[in-house]
Structure 1
Amino acid sequence: MNHETPCPLNAVVPRPATVHPRPETLVLDADTTIAGEADAVRWFRETVGGATGLPLREARNGHITFRVTPGELHGPESYRMSITPEGVSVRAHDPAGAHYAAQTLRQLLGAGAWRESVVRTGPWTLPCGELEDHPRFSWRGCHLDLARHFLPKREVLRFVELLAAHKLNVLHLHLTDDQGWRIEVPGLPRLTEVGAWRSGSQLGAGPTAEHLARPHGGYYTSEDLLEIVSYAAEHHITVVPEVDVPGHCQAAIASYPRLGTDPHRRLDVWTGWGVSEHVLNAEESTVDFFRRVFDHVVSVFPSPVVCVGGDEVPATEWENDRRCRERSRELGLPEPAALHGWFLRRMAEHLRDRGRRALGWDEVLDAGGALPSGSIVASWRGEEGGKRAVAAGHDTIMCPEQEVYLDHRQADHPEEPVPVGYLRTLEDVHDYDPVPSDMPDGSAHRVLGTQAQVWTEHLDSPSRVDYAAFPRLCALAEVAWLSARARNFTEFHRRLATYHLPRLEALGVEFRPLDGPRPWQTRPGVPGKPR
C-alpha cells in the first residue's frame, strides 16, 4: 500500500481567492462515494478515479458532493469548498464553478492524480480547510496558431485539458493564414485540397534563416472541429474560431485565384514567415465567398464571438491594381487602403446578423469604422489599442505582444531555442496587469480579460508548443484569475516549483525547466531574431 502525501491547501495554481487551512486530513479510499452536479461528478470519477484507482461510487449523500447553489456565491464560475475529515462539500454558482472545484481537488491530491492510469494502490489524502474562489475576468484565454504549423486533433484536445486544468476558459483557434488553411468548408474543396498544404517551411528567423524543403500541412474536418468544440464544452471552455481577412489570405488565394487582386496569377501557399502582400480583392463575389465561409464557421462553432482577424493588411496591391482603385471609388471610399475597413465591416455585420460578435485585432481601429457596435478589439500592439477601443465604446481583450506572446523568448539563456521577439520571463508574465493604470474611471469593465498568444512559426511540434507555453501559461492563468494586489511572484514560484511542475511532469507536459532548456529542447544552428 502506497500513501501519497497531500499537497497543502495553498498549493493550487491559480491560487484561490481565500484559503483557510486546518490541520486535519481527509482520507479517500475504496469506500469513498461521490454525488451532486452531474458533469463535475463524471469528470472527477473518470479523470481522478482513473488515476488514483478509487471507485468513487455515486451515492445519494456522497462523501464528496458538488452542489450548484447560485444565490450563495460570488458570481459566475465561483465556488466554495469545505474539506473536513468527514468529506468534501462544494457549493458552486454554476456547473463551471463545480468543474473548477473538481480541478482544485485534483491538484490537492498531488502529482499522482495527474497520471493516465494507476501507479500506486491504497488510500489518498486531502488537506482540510475552506476555500472560496472566483475569477477576476470572464475572458481567460489562450490563442493557438494552427495555420503556421498544424497540430493533430489529439494534440488540440490535450491542449484543451491543459487550459481547463488552469481554469482558463477560452481557446482562440487561428485556423487560416498565408501558410495554411485548416478548416474544411463544404462546397469549397480547394481550400483544403490546395490551401492546407505547403511545399516547405522557413527554418528559424532573421537574415540567416534557412528553408526546410519538407512538405507540411493538414486540416480539420467539420466532425473534427465539432469534436473539439464538444470536448472543450465539457471542460467549460469556449472555442473562438478565427478566419483572418482581408490580409493573411495567401493560402485562400492560392486555392481560388479569383479571390486575389490578379485572378490570372497563380500563387503557392506561402513557405515563409512574415506579412504577405497578397490580399483579397473587394469584389462582391469575394464578399459572398467569405460570407459562405463564415456561415459554415458559425454552424460548427457555437461561440458567441468569432474572430475576423483584420491585422497586418498591406494596401500595396489595392493601390497598384486598376480594378481595386476603381472599386474603392465605386464604394465612395477616400482611398484604396480604405478597402480594409470596408471588407471587415461587411464580415462583422454578417456575423452580427447571425447573432455573433466580431472580434478583430487592434488594426481594425485604424481601418475606417470597420467595427459595428458590439464588436471586440484584441489589443496586441501594446495596450493603446485596448484603451482606444474602450474610449470608442468597444470591449477589449488585453493581449499585448510585449507581455503575453508565449512564442517570444523566455530567457537570455544561451541555448534558448529559436529566440525570437521580446524577452518575457516567467516573472514578467506573472507581473502583468491587464487593466492599465491610466484607464478612465468606470471603464475597467470593458476589459473582458486577457489571453496568451502561442504563434507557431517556430513551434513545429507539440513538444515545442509545450516548451513555449509552460510554465508561463501557468503564470498567465494566475493573472487572469487573481487581482494584481493578490499576486506574489515569490510565493507563486514556490507553489510552481514544489507542487505544480511535478503535476505537469506526471501529465507528460514537456515544459521548460526553470533553470533552462534540457539538451534535447535546444535547437542548435536554428537562428532566432531577438527584439
Structure 2
Amino acid sequence: MDLIPAPGRLTRSGEGRHTFGDRTGIAAGEGTQGTARWLRATLGAATGLALPPKADAADAADDAVVLRIDASLEPEGYRLRVTDAGVTIEGGSAAGVFWGAQTLRQLLGPDAYRRAPLPGRAWTVPHVTVDDAPRFRWRGMMLDVARHFTPKAGVLRQLDLMAAHKLNVLHFHLTDDQGWRVEIKRHPKLTESASWRSRTKFGHRASELWEDKPHGGFYTQDDIREIVAYADALHIAVVPEIDLPGHSQAAIHAYPELGNSDVVDTSSLPVWDTWGVNPNVLAPTDTTLRFYEGVFEELLDLFPSTFIHVGGDECPKDQWRQSPTAQARIKELGLADEDELQSWFIRHFDTWLGARGRRLVGWDEILEGGLAPGATVSSWRGYEGGITAARAGHDVVMCPEQQVYLNYRQAPGDEEPVPIGYVRTLENVYRFEPVPPQLSEQEARHVLGAQANVWTEVTEDEQRLDYQVYPRLSAFSEVAWSELPEPGARDFADFERRMAAHYRRLDALGVGYRPPGGPLPWQRRPGVLGRPFEGEPPNV
C-alpha cells in the first residue's frame, strides 16, 4: 500500500475497493469531531466531495467514514477497516483516530494531498484492515526560527507536513544570539530591538559573503496562540525553547544588565550577525533570574505543553571565570566551579517550572556539573548523554547530531548546497536507532522517543528548509513510529520502493525536497562556503 510510516499490520481483503462519492459522509462518534472537521476540510478540498455529517452507526453500512474511540486500543493506536460499505476508523483516543485518518488519506492516493480536485478523478480505497500504533510517544522535529525566521504561515505549513508523517512534537527554538522571536509584553525591547539584526553571514562563519540587509521577525502572543491551537488540532504538542544561559546575545543586546557587564561592555553588543559558539552569556545574578522567570510566566500562559525547553547548550565559562560577580556567586553557593554554576542555573528553573506543573528539558550539556532532579535530556552530542541520563533515571529524547541533524549535508561533493557537517543520506537517517543497545530494558524505558533537528544558519528560507528536511524527515518518521520486527531489521529497499509513491504526495503538497538524483540547478548554492566534517560518525 506504500504507506509511510509503515503500519504495524496491514491485511488486504481481496481485490475489492470502496468508492467515495456524493453519498459518502462522516459519522463522528463522541470525541472525534476534530478529526471529522479535518477530514471534511482536507479531503473535501482535494476530492470536491461535501462529506456531510451522518448519524453515528454501529458500522459503515451507510457509505460513511465512521470515527469512534475504542479505549481498548493504545492511546495513539488505531484500527482502520475498509469494506464495500465504507470505512471505520477506531482509535484509542482522539489522537489515534486522527492518525488513522492520515492513513486513510494516504490510501486515497497522492492527489488526496491537493487543495482542489482534478477533473475526472475517481476516489477509491482498497479493502484493507490496518492495525497500528506508534513505537515512541515523542516523535519530534526541532525547528530553529532564531537564526533564520520562519513566518507564521510557514510554521503552520510545517505542522501540516509533520502531521502527514504522524509526528507529534514541534520543538520550537525561539531564541538565540541571532534573534529573539516571541513577544514578551513585560520586556518589549526583546521584540523591538532583539528580533532583528543588521546583516547576516551567508554560509559558514568562515565565508567572506554577507547578506547586507536587515533580517528579523517575531511572533506576537496571538500568533503563538494560533500556532499552538493549530498544532493541538493536529495532535502536535509545541515545546518552546528559550535558550539560557548561553546563546543569549540577542537578549543581552536588548537588556545589557543581563550580561557580564563587569567583564565586557554589554551596552555595545549587537544582535549577532554570524554563527558559532558565542562567548557572551548571561550573568548569574538575581536580576537575570527574575527577568527569565517573567519570560517563562508569559510563556506558560501561551504554551500548555508539559515540557519547557531551556537550552543549556554551548555555554562558554570564560566570562564567569573573569567575573567578580560570578565568582562571588560561586563562593556564596558553595559551588566547586563554573560547571556547577551552570547546573545551579538549570536547577533553579527546574524547580521553578516543577512548582508550576511543568517539566524542564535541556540539551545534554545540562549534565555538566550535576543534572537537575526533574530534568529531561535532549541527547544531541551523540548517544552518550542519553545513556548517562537514562542510567541515572532521567527521561531522554534521542537526537544525536551524527544521525538526525537535517541541516547536515545529504551527500558528498560540491553540488550539495552549503555543505555542513557529516554526510547523512536518506538511508543513514532511515537506519537510525533511537534506543542505544547499551541500555538495559529498564533503562531503555526512559527513552521517550526521538527528534530530528533543523538548525537554520545556512537554511535561509522555505525553499532551503524543504530541501534540507525532505525526504529525510519521511525516513525519520518511520524510525519514530514503526516497530522493528527485530533489532536492525529495517528494510531500506522496501522503504525506497514506498518512497516512489510518497514523492508524489510531497509533490502534491508543493514540497521542494531533494530529488534522489541530487539537487536541481536552483537548489544549489555554488560558491557559498560550508563546513563539511571529515569521516563517518559512529552509528551507536
Structure-2 separation of matches of 1:434 and 1:163 = 19
Aligned to 2:522: 520
2:43 to 44, 48, 52: 48
Matching residue of 1:333: 335
Letter in 1 for 2:7: P
Mapped to 2, the partners of 1:228 and 1:173 lie a distance apart of 11
Equivalent pair of 1:25/1:125 in contact (CA under 8 Å) = yes
Counterpart for residue 12 of structure 1: 3
CA deviations over 1:114-135 (Å, ceiling 9, x no partner): 1111222453111111110000
CA distance in 1, matches of 2:219, 2:230: 15
2:75 — aligned with what?
A: 76
More displaced 10-residue stretch of structure 1: 464-473 or 342-351:
342-351
Larger deviation: 452-461 or 100-109?
100-109
Alpha-carbon contact 1:140-1:451 (below 8 Å) kept: yes
Q: CA deviation at 1:414?
A: 3.0
Q: How many angstroms does 1:214 deviate by? A: 1.5
Aligned to 2:26: 34
C-alpha distance in 1, partners of 2:436/2:371?
25
Give, as a single letter, the amino acid of the residue that structure 2 aligns with 1:100. W
Offset of 1:496 from its aligned partner? 0.7
* Contact 1:12/1:107 (8 A) holds in 2: yes
C-alpha displacement at 1:470, in angstroms? 0.3
Structure 1 segment 119-138 matched on structure 2, within 5 A: 119-121=118-120, 123-138=122-137
Counterpart mapping for 1:357-372 below 5 A: 357-366=359-368, 368-372=369-373
Q: Which residue number corresponds to residue 343 of structure 1?
A: 345
Name the residue aligned to 2:538: none
Contact 2:8/2:483 (<8 A) preserved? no
Contact 2:258 2:283 in 1 (8 A): yes
Superposed counterparts of 1:77-476, under 5 Å: 77-121=76-120, 123-205=122-204, 207-262=206-261, 264-265=265-266, 266-366=268-368, 368-373=369-374, 375-476=375-476
Report if aligned partners of 2:149, 2:217 keep a CA contact under 8 Å in 1: yes
CA spacing shift, 1:455–1:291, aligned 2, 3 Å: same
* TM-aligned CA deviation for residue 413 of structure 1: 4.2
What is the one-letter code of the residue matched to 1:24? G
Per-residue Cα deviation, 1:94-115 (whole angstroms, up to 9, x for no partner):
1111111111111111111111
Match of 1:491 in 2: 494
Q: Contact between 2:205 and 2:275, CA under 8 Å: does it hold in 1?
A: no
Greater shift after overlay, 321-330 or 229-238?
321-330
Q: Could you give the per-residue CA deviations for residues 444-472 of structure 1, whole angstroms, max 9, x where no partner exists? A: 11000000000000000011111000000
- The 8 Å contact of residues 393 and 443 in structure 2, kept in 1 or not, is answered as no
Question: Which segment drifts farther, 198-207 or 27-36?
Answer: 198-207
Q: Is the CA contact 1:138–1:449 (under 8 Å) kept in the aligned structure 2?
A: yes
Tell me how far apart the structure 1 counterparts of residues 37 and 155 of structure 2 sit (CA, whole Å): 22
TM-superposed deviation, 1:349: 1.0
- Find the residue that maps to 1:167 and give its secondary structure: coil
Deviation at 1:336, TM superposition (A): 3.5
Unaligned runs of 5+ in 1: 1-9
Q: Indicate if the aligned counterparts of 1:148 and 1:456 stay in contact, CA closer than 8 A.
A: yes
Distance 2:20 2:372 in 1: 54
8 Å CA contact retained: 2:205, 2:276 = no
Distance in 2, Cα, partners of 1:209 & 1:510: 28
C-alpha RMSD of the superposition: 1.2
1:370 shift after superposition: 4.1
Pick closer, same or farther for the CA change 1:200–1:206 going to 2, 3 Å.
closer
Q: Which residue of 1 aligns with 2:537?
A: none
Matched residue pairs, number? 517
C-alpha displacement of 1:482: 1.2
Distance 1:489 1:294 in 2: 43
- CA distance 1:234–1:328, shift in 2 (3 Å): same
- TM-fit CA distance, 1:84: 1.1
Mapped contact 1:431–1:484 kept (Cα < 8 A): no
Q: Alpha-carbon deviation of 1:207?
A: 3.1
1:483 Cα deviation from its structure 2 partner: 2.5
Tell me, yes or no, if the aligned pair for 1:52 and 1:120 is still in contact at 8 Å. no
Structure 1 distance, partners of 2:414, 2:22, is: 50
Which residue identity is paired with 2:106? Q
After TM superposition, the structure 1 stretch with the greater mean CA deviation from structure 2, 484-493 or 469-478, is 484-493
Paired residues of 1:172 and 1:241 also in contact (CA < 8 A): yes
Amino acid at match of 2:401: E
Q: TM-score, normalised by structure 2?
A: 0.94
